[in-house]
Amino acid sequence: MNRASAYLSTLLISASLSSCGQTVSSQTAKQVAHNFQKDVIPSDLSKYSQATFAAGCFWHEETLFESIKGVVKGVSGYAGGTTRNPTYEDVETGTTGHAETVNVYYDSTMVSYTTLLKVYFESMEDPTQVNGQGPDEGTQYRSIVFYRNFKEKAMAEESINKLNKSGKYKKTIAAQVVPYTVFWPAEDYHQRYINTHSDEPYVSNVSIRDIARFQAAHPELIKPGHNFALKK
């Protein structure tokens, strides 16, 4: 489902989502998005740890993780498939095997991989949804934790087991846990998209709403000036 179709679907089910959403004024959205634009990204990212996640639209995931203390950069892209150098148009067909993914660069002395897993699972609208998140549906929107070592694999599986046993959800967690192989950065126009398009209907009514919902629940994790849930 493309962004326009996803937004139309969201309008149709907005009443059912209103209770779990987070209202964000256009003024707040623009101001916070502007603060993201002022972030200084290190030119050398080689000294930072990396974590790779897929959970629906990568615009949402990138901005969400960039709001977390200790995260220095998120990169939108594609992973989990077999096609080399996939384009957005290729991935959107659902035939390449890739999922929209974000590669996260973080300072492990400031934020742990366990915390990033918490952000990942708790920020999803429905972690039990198969092949999609919210109105974004298809294998290209499936949920995946890409682990780089067996320690990360064990932590991801432990997180899933705890959620399954918690009784919070009626269905089992849908996220796959698979080894990291290759990550293909998305086209330039997808990078940091929300930061410069906060007034677009899909961004304001889907992405920012869901980001703000997590931020409202965990303000202690959010960088100053990066919390869409704070009233301006």
Active-site positions? 57
Q: Which of 116, 118, 91 is nearest to 105 (CA)?
A: 116
d(C-alpha 22, C-alpha 77), whole Å: 27
Closest by CA to 57, choosing from 78, 31, 37, is 78
Q: Give the type of residue at 208.
A: I
Q: Which residues pair with 146 in a beta bridge?
A: 52, 178
Pick from 111, 127, 205, 123: nearest CA to 163: 127
Q: In 3D, which of 155, 125, 161 has the Cα closest to residue 143? A: 125
* Nearest to 182, CA basis, from 98, 117, 122: 98
CA 154 vs. chain centroid, Å, equals 21
